[in-house]
Structure 1
């Protein structure tokens, strides 16, 4: 019997958590509703901050969630608290952890108020959920050792059919680019795009491309405060399908993040048969098997990053292993089946 499951929140179509929720709705055998509704997202403005969002969440909170067998919260503290409020009316509540926030990762050395709120909801509110899921062993180990919370490991994944539709030639023709190293992320300090700019500056014979929110030329130039290297092209935000095209067109994908709960862009690149380079920490190292499925560099070392990029471009056997790993562990059809088992057990 199909269960009625509500999963959320989705305030924007962009981002790893939103795509994770989309994948559950697409691949689950149960009847899955994404919350808030598309109409609400249009009215609120597809933003999880601002006056419309504040008004909506304040008005919505007292009513809770009705008519669902399973509640499934992700990341956002407002929806996590809404699920806790609604738990008595459902058969079970599931919470998935995607990331935690640490003061040492912040440029100021201190968390922003919204990050403190997210941590409080993750460690104190979601503690009351019936089943806790982490998208990486790194997160699961941290949750257990630092907060004495048990959880299941069910990773984030990729839609292999969507990856198969990616067309590198389409991207090359659209932007007149070929044989380039790619950074796909955002201008968030957590993504550490400065390291990629420095990598490009130190390898003038190679071409480098950046795509993502805040990564257009003027924005990056403003953040760098020095002239950008001539071999770096900053394209800015793309929709997800175009980002996959960019990955498919690239010679290699480089991740320079300060910390990642999992590192979905690495998995997408692995699925598309692209060499990857990632730092030796958190979910980044886990996704690439600590060097077995991609090149792992010493975080903070520009010299090691450059060396590992060279190694990535010369290691086709690593790329083949990586594609096999994605098919075995990160295929959303398999992940959704595991999620469905969790829902069914809670409803029994």
Structure 2
């Protein structure tokens, strides 16, 4: 009798847990639907002329690219979803309602959709775009095996396919670098126009070396690396560089830790290396303003905004002979170029950079002519209005 009672009670408990979880799921779904509906209503009321997204990135070059478009376009340009809701609610309410979004009409005020990387807005453009709306897609980077720990990751392969779909279906295809423009044509038969990553020159000019030195205890002068613990960024070679040049001071910004160096790289921690956390864009400008030279060790880059920003600051840059970096600097014209993977040659080029001029005014001239967002945004606005394709 007692066993039957216990068994029945356990059944009641399981049923109660099931119903409670069902209730929680309904509340979760209802809440996310309200967040999504609130955003969509505000978005339609704002009567945008251009929408740019998907604005899910919390940092990095793609995020900075999209935000600069919103800042510098002279049309009513909105990031979708907006930053305020992403900061407050995250991406889940929008990702969960992606099927709902694909059934919603675009507002009549819209002139252009500008998609980047992620499928959320791309899928909406595929489903709901009308002939009077120009669909622009920017190709930022193709994921190669170097981007993964053991080759290309499944999610990277998926984003490659999403990008190809967008490039094949959109009206205007843009590539941020000339080398990727050539790659798309030769490997996939896709003709894309070149329109580079822009540089927010005004934001760069707000960078101040004294702000960095007041906040952080760093020796001067120092050599700078900015990135993240990621195979494609190749922080390993920068640590080896610091070990090779023990009399110089090196700084790594981006969250590389002593544990990364000891366990993952299996290298000793150099005494002349300072490790710093990830920094916001404005603080990165302060660090660039303070450094003696910038070093990039990436295996691959699309078109590295960091290099363009250092050139805006007129800083010497040391780069690998890698297509994206070479596109930014026009080869050796505005950079000290080393053979990728050759740390001894990298060290030689760092010595050359330190022995050379402290400022590179012609590098800044190149930025102002070709990469300044005020120049790039004007070209984009013409595309959005259908004046150029």
Q: Secondary structure at the match of 1:169?
A: helix
Asked if the contact 1:69/1:347 (under 8 Å) is kept, the reply is no
Given that residues 292 and 318 in structure 1 are in contact (C-alpha distance below 8 angstroms), is that contact kept between their aligned partners in structure 2? no
| 1:246 equivalent among 287, 297, 302 | 287
In structure 2, the residue matched to 1:25 is: 70
8 Å Cα contact 1:3-1:70 kept in structure 2: no
Aligned length: 341
Which residue matches 1:180?
222
Instruction: Decide which of 309, 314, 334 is 2:350's aligned counterpart.
Output: 309
Distance 1:64 1:122, change over 3 A: farther
User: What secondary structure is seen at the aligned counterpart in 2 of 1:18?
Assistant: helix
Asked if 1:76 corresponds to 2:118, the answer is yes
Q: Does 1:331 align with 2:376?
A: no
Aligned-pair distance for 1:249? 0.5
CA distance in 2, matches of 1:53, 1:185: 28
1:16 corresponding residue in structure 2: 61
- Residue of structure 2 equivalent to 1:232: 273
Deviation at 1:299, TM superposition (A): 0.5
Which gives a bigger RCO, structure 1 or 2 (Cα 8 Å, sep 6+)? Answer: 1
Instruction: Give the Cα–Cα distance (whole angstroms) in 1 for the partners of residues 164 and 184 of structure 2.
Output: 8
Go from structure 1 to structure 2 and tell me whether the alpha carbon gap of 1:59 and 1:202 turns closer, same or farther (over 3 Å shift).
farther
Q: Name 2:340's counterpart in structure 1.
A: 299
Contact 1:71–1:90 (8 Å) recurs in 2:
no
Shift of 1:220: 4.5
Matched, 1:116 2:157: yes
Shift of the alpha carbon at 1:151?
1.1
Task: Determine which structure has more spread, i.e. the larger CA radius of gyration.
Answer: 2
| Structure 1 residue 106 displacement after superposition | 3.0
Alpha-carbon distance, 1:54 to partner:
4.3
* Secondary structure, counterpart of 1:29 in structure 2: coil
Instruction: Give 1:38 shift.
Output: 2.5
Q: Check the 8 A contact 2:292/2:358 in 1, yes or no.
A: no
Identify unmatched segments of 5+ residues in structure 2: 1-46
Q: Does residue 250 of structure 2 align to residue 204 of structure 1? A: no
SS at match of 1:11: coil
State the alpha-carbon separation in 2 of the partners of residues 229 and 245 from structure 1. 24
CA deviation after TM superposition for structure 1 residue 52, in Å: 5.7
Deviations 1:35-89 (A, max 9, x none): 11224313442x6xxx666424455344364442210001113322222222227
Compute the TM-score of the two structures, normalised by the length of structure 2. 0.82
In structure 2, do the counterparts of structure 1 residues 91 and 58 end up closer, same or farther at CA, with 3 Å as the change threshold?
closer
Q: Do residues 126 (structure 1) and 167 (structure 2) align? A: yes
- Per-residue deviation at 1:163? 1.1
CA RMSD of aligned residues (A): 2.2
- In 2: Cα distance, 1:192 partner to 1:53 partner: 33
Secondary structure of 2:197 counterpart = coil
Distance 1:347 1:66 in 2: 23
Name the CA distance, whole Å, in 2 between partners of 1:93 and 1:344.
11
Match for residue 135 of structure 2? 93
Deviations 1:239-274 (A, max 9, x none): 111111011110100011111110110000010111
- 3-state SS in 2 of match to 1:230: coil
Deviations 1:20-39 (A, max 9, x none): 11111111111100011224
Matched, 1:148 2:189: yes
Farther-moved stretch of structure 1 (70-79 vs 314-323) = 314-323
Conserved? CA contact 1:13–1:19, under 8 Å:
no
Alignment of 1:261-280 (within 5 A): 261-280=302-321
1:196 and 1:335 mapped to 2: Cα distance? 32
Picking from 292, 299, 302, the partner of 1:258 is 299
d(CA) in 1 for partners of 2:323, 2:103: 37
Ranges in structure 1 where 5+ consecutive residues have no aligned partner: none
How far did 1:313 drift? 1.8
